[in-house]
Amino acid sequence: MSDVAHAHGHDDHGHHAHPTGFMRWLTTTNHKDIGSLYLIFALIMLFAAGAMALMIRAELFKPGLQLVHPDFFNQLTTMHGLIMIFGVIMPAFSGFANWQVPLMLGAPDMAFPRMNNWAFWILPVAGLLLMASFFLPGGAVAGGWTMYPPLFIQGGISYDLTILAVHIMGLSSIMGSINIITTILNMRAPGLTLMKMPLFVWTWLITAYLLIATMPVLAGAVTMLLTDRNFGTHFFNAAGGGDPVMFQHIFWFFAHPEVYILILPAFGIVSQIIPTFARKPLFGYASMVYATASIAILSFIVWAHHMFTVGMPVAAQLFFMFSTMLIAVPTGVKVFNWVATMWRGSMTFETPMLFAIAFVCLFTIGGFSGLVLAIAPVDIQLHDTYYVVAHFHYVLVSGALFSIFAGVYYWLPKWTGHMYSETLGKWHFWLSVIGMNIVFFPMHFLGLAGMPRRIPDYALQFTEFNQIATVGAFIFGFSQLLFLAIVLKTIKGGAKATSKVWEGAEGLEWTVPSPAPYHTFETAPVIK
């Protein structure tokens, strides 16, 4: 994208010249540069964490220990989970926010461009700390991405590095979120009221709020782990009056809202794409906004559905069951609104739309399995089995990740000025959808039949479904190389994109040329 950058190298204030080469990326305060950095980082991490997933799947291809030691297997699982969540999905969404929020609001940049740079550039630091631990004595963390003590107290040096990496990623998210919220609240073009904002901006506003509310809580929880490990405190040790389960409460108070952090921007992206390709305005804009807000608010009172088996009092069990089930209502409103948007539209099926449709359908499957898990007695059978793994990959892979693919195809022409290859895009789509279902659908059956998660080896009756899943994983994984190729090819060249790109597109981002110039909206547009 370097040609984009040099298009408008001029300097308003004239202190000093823009750095070039590598320094340009290290010191940039431009939201588009930073957005690209986030997206590139996420893409690299997708391949790193995906490679770990493929190793997991390869080991699970048949019973017996083939490729890895049990402890290394646990390291793979843990790092796969941590990196996919903190290193892929969250940075990718931040990348979208950086590129799109100012463009959609008619703002020249983010509110705090320097802090924006810092929020990005501490992520590679955290990534380094995490990945480096693979090479330290004892290997990487192997306690699960949920970091439960006392197991997490036992480990060696990489556990401390991971805790600090989590602190740093939290810091990054908080700074990024403060920036996004401030931009949204204070930098909208004149006349662009809150209820006229594109839905993507709304979902990010609410996501940023969730991040600011929960990331510090995670920081608190891992700080307690750190002091229990190194400074002799007894937060999670019953002998000293603490309780290991207390960690779980604090952790899930963060991590349940976190899963909505991983899906609300996805809802936003899909809500931009469907109206474009249905050539019809989004159905129920206001109820979409209210539903998003309700999901966010409810997400603070459902956390213990991850803990139905810890032995809570029956009243708590019932409360968390009911509150969790309630989330299906606003989420349902969203699903219905998307279907109603397509209803009687004039639809075409370019790659972004295909991914968006797959998202609606497959995310709902994940939502339904979530609902099954929300039923406490059923969860007691299914907790910590592959059913849970199936659930969250449906919402995370065919949910979050697919929305990212959809968004990239949708906005790539705006970012690079080139059209991607529609043929290759469709190949990528079909391979992904089919592959994804082959990996994760059989996992429901494995979970029902009683296969625990986080195990490197399993009993014989689980063999067939595991083999199917592994085959699917390799299909899905290697199709992502196609995605990489498409993106690189589009950056390099391709048919010129018009400024509107899509026939049905609406919004300020489509009023600027493609590729979007380095500086846009230096004087605010006026919205009637």
Partner 1 sequence: MKRMGQGAVLAAAWGASQSAFAEYAYNLQAPASPIAAQVFHLHNLIMLVCLGIFVVVFGAMFYSLIKHRKSVGHQAAHFHENTTIEVIWTVIPFVILMGMAYPAAKVVIAMKDTSNPDMTIKITGYQWKWGYDYLNEGVSFYSNLATPREQIQNAATKGEHYLLEVDEPMVVPVGKRVRLLITANDVLHAWWVPALGAKQDAIPGFIRDAWFEADRIGTYRGQCVELCGKDHGFMPIVVNVVSEADYAAWVEKKKGAAEVAAADDTKTFPLPDLVARGEKVYAASCAACHQANGMGLPGAFPAISGSKIATGPVGAHIDIVLHGKPGTAMAAFGTQLSDADIAAVVTYQRNAWDNKTGDAVQPAQIAAAHADGKGAAAAQ
Partner 2 sequence: MSLAQTDKYYLPQPSIWPIVGSLALLLMAVGGTMMMREVPHGGWILLAGFGTLFYMMFGWFGEVVRDSEAGRFNKQVDASYRWSMSWFIFSEVMFFAAFFGALFYTRVLSVPWLAEGDTMQQLWPNFQAAWPTAGPGLSGPEAQFTPMHAWGIPAINTLLLLTSGVTVTWAHWGLKKGVRSQLVWGLAMTVALGLVFLSLQIYEYYHAYTALGLTLGAGVYGATFFMLTGFHGFHVLVGTTMLIVMLGRSMAGHFTADHHFAFEAVSWYWHFVDVVWVLLFLLVYWLI
Return the number of the residue (92 or 201) whose C-beta is nearest ligand HEA: 92
Select from 19, 27, 67, 70 the one that contacts partner 1 (CB under 8 A): 70
User: Rounded to the nearest 5°, which phi and psi values hold at 427?
Assistant: -60, -45
CA dist list (Å): 9 to 20, 30, 99: 10, 11, 18
Show the tokens assigned to 521. 């909206």
Which SS3 state, helix, strand or coil, does residue 108 take?
Answer: coil
Query: Of 229, 334, 383, 391, which one is the catalytic site residue?
Result: 334
Interface with partner 1 by CB under 8 A: which range of 108-116, 188-196, 448-456, 481-489?
448-456
Residue 227 lies near partner 1 (rule: CB under 8 A):
no
Instruction: Please confirm, yes or no, whether 260 is among the known catalytic residues.
Output: yes
User: Is residue 202 annotated as part of the catalytic site, yes or no?
Assistant: no
Each residue 48-87 as x (binds partner 2 by CB under 8 A) or -, in order, gives: ----------------------------------------
310 binds ligand HEA, rule: CB under 6 A:
no
Site for partner 1 in 133-162 (CB under 8 A): 136-139, 142-144, 148-151, 153-154, 156
Q: Which residue has the tokens 């082959």?
A: 438
Contact (Cβ atoms closer than 8 angstroms) between residue 89 and residue 402: no
Q: Which stretch binds Cu ion (CB under 5 A): 46-54, 131-139, 249-257, 404-412?
A: 249-257
Provide the residue type at 240 as one letter: G
Q: Is 243 in the site for partner 2 (CB under 8 A)?
A: yes
Sequence-separated (6 or more) residues with CB below 8 Å from residue 273: 352, 353, 355, 356, 406, 407, 410
Residue 42 or 374 with smaller CB distance to partner 2: 42
For ligand HEA, the binding residue among 332, 377, 493, 513 (CB under 6 A) is: 332
- When CB distances are held under 5 to 8 angstroms depending on the partner's kind, the choice from partner 2, ligand HEA, partner 1, none that residue 473 binds is ligand HEA
Instruction: Map the footprint of ligand HEA across residues 381-400, applying CB under 6 A.
Output: 383, 388-389, 391-393, 395-397, 399-400
Which residues lie below 8 Å from residue 429, measured CB to CB, with a gap of 6+?
351, 354, 355, 358, 405
The whole-angstrom separation of Cα 206 and Cα 444 is: 31
> Tokens 């929960």 belong to which residue?
214
Cβ atoms 453, 62 nearer than 8 A: no
- Report yes or no: 393 and 458 within 8 Å, Cβ to Cβ: no
Q: Which does 458 bind (CB under 5 to 8 A by kind): partner 1, partner 2, ligand HEA, none?
A: partner 1
Instruction: Give dist(CA 483, CA 356) in Å, integer.
Output: 16
**Which DSSP helix (H) or strand (E) runs through 285?**
helix 285-298
Active site residue 383: no
- Nearer Cβ to partner 2 (19/377): 19
Cβ distance to Cu ion smaller for residue 260 or 483: 260
For the segment 172-201, give every residue that binds partner 2 (CB under 8 A). Answer: 174, 177-179, 181-182, 185-190, 192-193
Q: How many residues of this chain interact with ligand HEA, rule: CB under 6 A?
A: 59
Q: Is 111 in the site for partner 2 (CB under 8 A)?
A: yes
Cis peptide upstream of residue 456 (ω within 30 degrees of 0): no
Among 57, 80, 188, 256, binds Cu ion (CB under 5 A): 256
Identity of the residue numbered 143: G
What is the full DSSP assignment across 112-138?
Answer: -HHHHHHHHHTHHHHHHHHHHGGGSTT
Q: Which of 258, 350, 379, 509 is catalytic?
A: 258
Q: Which of residues 140-159 bind partner 2 (CB under 8 A)?
A: 156-157
In whole angstroms, give the CA distance from residue 335 to residue 341.
Answer: 10
| Among 456, 472, 507, 515, contact with partner 1 (rule: CB under 8 A) | 456
